[in-house]
Structure formats: structure tokens, C-alpha cells
Amino acid sequence: MVVKYAVGGAAWVCGMFSLLAAEQVWLDAGPDNVWSVSALNWDAGAGWANGNTARFTGAGGTQAGETVDVSGALTVAGMAFETNGYVIADADADGTLALEGGGEIRVAHAADAAIVSEVVGGAGFTKTGPGRLQLSGANTFTGVVRVAEGTLRLSKWNPTVLGATGSGNGTVVESGATLDIYGAFTNNLNRAEDLALAGAGVDGLGALINTGTGCMNSGFSGTTTLLGDTTIGCTSRIDFRGNVAGGGHTLTKIGNSELAVGVQVNNCPIVINAGNYTYMNSLALGGADFDTTLNGGALRSYSSQTVTEHLICNGGAIVAAGGAANTFKLNGRMTLNGRTAVRGEQTYSTVELAGVLEGPGGLARDGIGTVVITGNANTYAGATVITAPLYLGRTNQAAGVFGAGPVTNTSTLYVDRSGSFVSSNGFFGSGSTIIRYGGEMVLSGSSSSCGVVRVASGGLALTNGAALKVYSRFYLSERTSSIGYPVDPTNVTATLKISDTALLDVYNIEAGNGSSVTGGGMTGIVEQAGGTVRTYGWSGDPGNFPGEYDGLRIAHWPQAYGVYNLRGGTVTVENGYRLAIATDGRGWMLQTGGELFASEVVVNARDGGGGYGRLTLEGGVMNVGSNGITAGAGAPYLIEFGGAGGVVRAATHFASALNATLVSNGTEAITFDTQAWGITLSGNLTGDGGLNKTGTGTLTLSGNNTYAGPTRVLEGRLVRGAYAALPDMG
């Protein structure tokens, strides 16, 4: 007889094996299916001899296996199943089956499976052969179970299926073999079994797997030791309730279900390829000893947890979960090589990204829950994709920035941090950006386009050639329900700054929106030193207030106070829509430079509500269209012209019936430039200043004017439309 190879003291020859004990072959065509010392169901018509090795061959492989019924007290040195379908059982509960120590149970072929449902006593054994062996009895054997080849499957809801626990007992899974829990230890019946694992298992599906369905808390509370790099395959959930000793070997998680780790995982690199790796202990990733790699699936917390380890994220997700409000805080370095998703599993779950985010990859905020970025040194180069609300920073904390890549937002970005920070990111998508708690975001040198911008409280600055296109409305100083304040603040202050060659291209701009709060106010300030602001749409209520098509509103609601300080650059209100300085609030258009283009300038749209409008043109050029400079009937206002040589220029014929105060004389006085058109001023012009007339067209004065300064006609024609239109000193 030629020996091919040897495992565990057994010699394997031509697919058969020989132990020191004698072999007996089961007669599938025997008198009955009883396995006992007296039933003549073994080769040569013999009864069973205790201590021998049993072979079940399916009549030499010519037929499938059958159910064999144990009767009486039997001992066996080993068993071999050489065809598929055998079941060792004890239907009438009149037998016992005991293993002699060190024996083997072999399932010879990869496609074969055998079931031992009889209670097995005696000592441990070694599972060999590429097939699957299933244990389903309430076993009492002691010693070590060694899975050397193939799969050892347990049975559902059977906490004693692996025999005794404690010192001298345990299970070893060798490289290439698999232990399938199959739901044996479930519903908090975790097995106090010491495990030793190695390898990727049969067909790479895992050295430890759980294919039992409908299982919760299926796992081990003994110590798990890795003897080599080990793969855990979670078709259903597996729990580690005892510490894991990694020995420097890599633990790889696969399978779409969960590996729940409520213990320390020591000295062990971790790789997550699929399913949830649930973090339930502060050392569930092993601390700083090794990195954790996330390729797919999810690193998932349960209850509030903090991770400090270095995470290498090539994909997958970060997920917060728990039975009550919880926060999964990632304080360590995260290297993003791919796009990693971030979400909560419940609406009350929060993920906080507080560490450094680096690498060429990016983030995808999706799903539910809350996600907050509070890290202040992020450098990741990939995109941030927002399809669910994302919070940049926390209230009263001057921290929270994106990396260098673009931000695509189809949901809502809440900028909740405090302090001023510079962002060179491009912002894109149809979503909303909301600045709520006093922070200032400075867009520098980037090109962006988005749906809605709401600077409720805080600031937005465009500089260094930054371009921002807003397809819907731009709101400044706001406390409406759209902001999402838990309680409306008493006062909000918001600023918008445009400088150098920056561009703000928006549908329309509204400042000061929100219901009244006792003692409250909404202050909105625009500081434009350069660049371009363009509006092309409108807001208003033309059904109740005819003509109310406002492209730019400086002070809308009653508690609003708005100032537009135009020192340089260009403001254009396109498509015939209005510049409304005040609607129901108190607004001030202060122009000391730059150019303004509007078909109509409404100083105060309507009486009532405590509104007040102020127009001050000290310098720069105000280009006025056909609807002129107006105010609502009885609406209080103040117009001041002059001081640094400002110009009112006609873009076409227009008239104004409003009163105005003239400031300064000569080159510092106001200039009315008719170009080739005509300007008619029928309101009363007062003050110490005078006026200049340029352009080839006609300026007609027809008010009861008392201004004290000179009237200089430098070009074109001046018409005295009423006797008092030119005062005595004019």
C-alpha cells in the first residue's frame, strides 16, 4: 500500500484512510439502518465493534447515503463519509456515540455533505476532507475540534454543539478550512469557545462564516487567536464577545452581513471588504498598533464611539448607529484613496469627522442622520458629494473645512462653524448653502454654481476672482423656517463682500427675511469694493402690489435693516426688474463708487410696517432706466445726491417725482448725465449743494427747488419746468 500524504496521524491512500483502529464499511443494503454492536449492517454481515473506524461509502459510490440510526453505547475512532447524503441520527433516543480522542471525521468529496445529529460524547476530533460535515446534536465531547479541511457546519440555536468549553477545549480552523456557525450561538447565547483561525477558508469565503438566516448575536465570548492572516465571512451576523489576539496577522472582513466587535482587537491590521464591521469597543480596531483599511462595506459604530486609528479608505462607508442618540467621532487620520460614503443609520445618529482627511479621494454624504466635518486641516483632493444634509463645523467652534476638491451639493450644506475661513473649492449642484451661526466663508479664486444661498447670520466673501452663480435666490440676513434654527434668534447679522474681479451672478438678492421677534432685528450689509454683481430674476407680490418685481431687495421684512455699500465694481439689475432699497424694512443704498444699472430704483416701496428708504449717491455712476427713481405713496425716504462727484445717468428717458437733498458744489456736486435722453425731476431739490448737467439731452426741473449751490450746464439743455425750479442762488 502506497501512502500519498499524512494529516493528524492518519494515513490517506487512494481516497481512503486507515487509522490504527480497524475499519468497518457500512452495508447500505443491510437488514436495517441500525448502527449497534448487534445489528448486522457492516461488511461481511458483521455487527459493529466499538473502537473501530466507520466508513460510509454509499455501496462503493453507487448510491446516495442514508439515515443511520444509532442504538446502544457506541465508541468510534473515526468516521469517513465517501458519498453524499448520510445522516447519523438517533430517532428513538436509545443510543450514545462517543469519540475516541484524536480521531478523524472525513467527508471525502467537495460536493458531499454529512450530518451527525446524534449527541456525540468522548473526545475532540479532526475534520478532514473537502466536503461539509454538519453537527446538530447537543454534544458533550471534550477536547479540541480541529477543522483541517473542508467545512464544519454547526446547527441553528444549539449552544452546546461544539461540546464542552473551558480549559483544554476549543476549536482550531486551519488555513483553507471553514467553520460555519450556522446560527448556533444566537439571541445572546454567545459561545464561551476559544477559537484559533487562519486562512481564507473554502473557496475564499472565510475561515469563520455564518450562513444561518435570521440570526442575531451569533458569536463567541472566548478568546479568538489568529494563527495567520484570516478572513471572516459574514453571510449572517457574527459577534466577537471575547478579545481577539491578532499576532500581527491581518483580519479581513467579507460578506454582506455584520461582524460585531464588542471587544479589544489586539496587534491586528484590519481590512473591511464588505458588510458592516461594527465598532462597539474603544479598541475594536486595535488602537494605534496597525492601520485599518476600508475597501467596501462599512465601518459602523453602535452607540457613541471615538476612533483614533489611521483609516485607509479606498471606498466603503462610515456609519453611525445605535438604539438612542449617538455620535461616531473619527479623530484619527483618514487617507481617502477612493470616495467614502458617510451617513447615519437612524435619524438621531451622528458622524463627526474631526481628524485630518487627506489623500486623492473624496467623500459622499448620503442617507440619513447627521454628518459634521470639524477637522480644520483637511487636504483631501477628491470631490465632496452631498446628497443629504451636511454640516461644516459646529456652533461656536472655529473649525471645519473641506479639502481641495470640488463640492457637489444636491441637498443642503449648513455652514455652522464660527470664525473666518478661506475656501478655494468650487461649489456645484442644485442644493442650498446656508451660513447660520456667525462664521464667514471666503471664496477665493474658485468658480462655483449652486441652487440657493442663504447667509442667515455670518458672512460670505468673494475675492481673488472668485465666481459664484446662484440659479435661484440669494438671501442675506434671514430667520425664516428655511434656515432650520431650533428657535428663531432675536438678532441676526449677515455680510456679503465682493472685491477685485469677483463675480456674483444670481437670480435675485433678498436681504432681511423673517418674522418679527420681540426686540429683534435682521441686519444685512453688502460691501462691494469691486467685481460684478448681476441679478436677472425677481421676487415680489405683484398681485397685491402692482409692479413689485424686485431683482435686488436691500431691506425686505419689517425688522430688517440693510445697507448696500457700493464703493467699486458693477451692479446690474437686469430684465427691467427693480432695485428696491426698502420694502417694509429700513434700507440704505450708499454709493461712493462703481456703477449701478437698474430700470427702476425704488427708495421705499410702501408705507406702513416701519419701513424707511435712503439713497445716497456720493460717487460713482447710477444708470437709471425708464421707470426712474420712485417711492410708494406716502412711504418715508431720504435721497442725498453729491459729495464726491456722483453721476445719475439716463439709460433712456425717465422721470422722478421724489424730493432730494443736494450736497457739495462744483466737481463734487451731483451730475445729471442725460446722454441723448431726457430726465425730468419734479420733486423738490434742497440742501447746500448744487448740480451739474452733462449729456446732449434735456434735464427738466419742475419742483419747488431751494438748493443753495450753483447749477452748471456743461452740455446739452436745461429746461426750467416751473417758476421755482431754479432757486435764487441757482
Where among 76, 93, 110 does a domain terminate? 110
Confidence grade of residue 217 (pLDDT, cut at 50, 70, 90): low
**Mean pLDDT computed over 466-487:** 96
Say whether 550 sits in a helix, a strand or coil.
strand
- Percentage of the chain beyond pLDDT 90 is 87
**Mean pLDDT computed over 688-695:** 98
What is the pLDDT at residue 207? 98
Residue-wise pLDDT tens digits, 148-206:
999 999 998 888 899 999 999 999 999 999 999 998 887 666 788 899 999 999 999 99
Structural domain contains residue 591? no
Retrieve residue 563's grid coordinates.
445697507
Q: Where are the alpha helices (DSSP H) in 452-583?
A: none
Indicate whether 8 pLDDT > 70. no
Q: Using alpha carbons, select from 60, 69, 68, 150 the residue that is nearest to residue 113.
A: 150
Number of structural domains, the chain?
A: 2
Where among 48, 83, 110 does a domain terminate? 110
Q: What are 334's strand-pairing partners?
A: 311, 357
246-to-165, 198, 217, 242, 243 alpha-carbon distances in Å:
22, 10, 22, 13, 10
Cα separation, 249 vs 230, whole angstroms: 7
Structural domain contains residue 54? yes
Indicate whether 365 pLDDT > 60. yes
What is the pLDDT at residue 16? 40
Cα separation, 91 vs 71, whole angstroms: 9
Task: Say which residue the cell 477612493 belongs to.
Answer: 338
Give pTM, 2 decimals: 0.90
Question: Is 413 exposed, middle or buried (CB count within 10 Å of its CB: 0-12, 13-18, 19+)?
Answer: buried
Task: Say which residue the cell 421677534 belongs to.
Answer: 517
Spatial strand order in the sheet of 654-656: 654-656, 678-681, 698-701, 717-720
Residue-wise pLDDT tens digits, 301-334:
999 999 999 999 999 999 999 999 999 999 999 9
Task: Provide the b/e sequence for 582-592 (b: ≥16 CB within 10 Å).
Answer: bbbbbbbbbbb
Residues 693-701: contacts with CB under 8 Å, at least 24 apart: 693/718, 695/649, 695/650, 697/650, 698/674, 699/672, 699/674, 701/725, 701/726
Q: What are the backbone dihedrals phi and psi of residue 729, each rounded to the nearest 5 degrees, phi first?
A: -85, 0
Structural domain contains residue 555? no
Structural domain contains residue 106? yes
Cα separation, 399 vs 454, whole angstroms: 20
What is the pLDDT at residue 219? 77
Q: Using alpha carbons, select from 168, 155, 99 the residue that is nearest to residue 127.
A: 99
Looking at every residue in the chain, the average pLDDT score rounds to: 94
Indicate whether 12 pLDDT > 90. no
Confidence grade of residue 729 (pLDDT, cut at 50, 70, 90): low
- Percentage of the chain beyond pLDDT 70 is 96
DSSP string, 177-228: -EEE-TTSS-TT--B---EEEEE--GGGS-SEE---SS-SS-EE-S-EEEEE
* Residue 667 DSSP code: G
611 or 4, which is more confident = 611
Confidence grade of residue 421 (pLDDT, cut at 50, 70, 90): very high
Retrieve residue 323's grid coordinates.
438604539
Task: Say which residue the cell 425688522 belongs to.
Answer: 559
- Which residue type occupies 168? G
**Mean pLDDT computed over 560-582:** 98
Structural domain contains residue 539? no
What range does the domain containing 684 cover?
A: 642-730
Indicate whether 239 pLDDT > 70. yes
Structural domain contains residue 287? no
Structural domain contains residue 658? yes
Residue 444's H or E segment, with its range, is: strand 440-444
- Length of the chain equals 730
Residue 355 CB contacts under 8 Å (≥ 6 apart), including other chains: 308, 330, 331, 332, 333, 334, 375
Indicate whether 546 pLDDT > 80. yes
Residue-wise pLDDT tens digits, 57-106:
998 878 899 999 999 999 999 999 999 999 999 999 999 999 987 789 99
**Mean pLDDT computed over 417-434:** 97
Task: Provide the b/e sequence for 82-117 (b: ≥16 CB within 10 Å).
Answer: bbbbbbbbbeeeebbbbbbebbbbbbbbeebbbbbb
Cα separation, 207 vs 177, whole angstroms: 6
Structural domain contains residue 341? no
Q: What are 26's strand-pairing partners?
A: 42
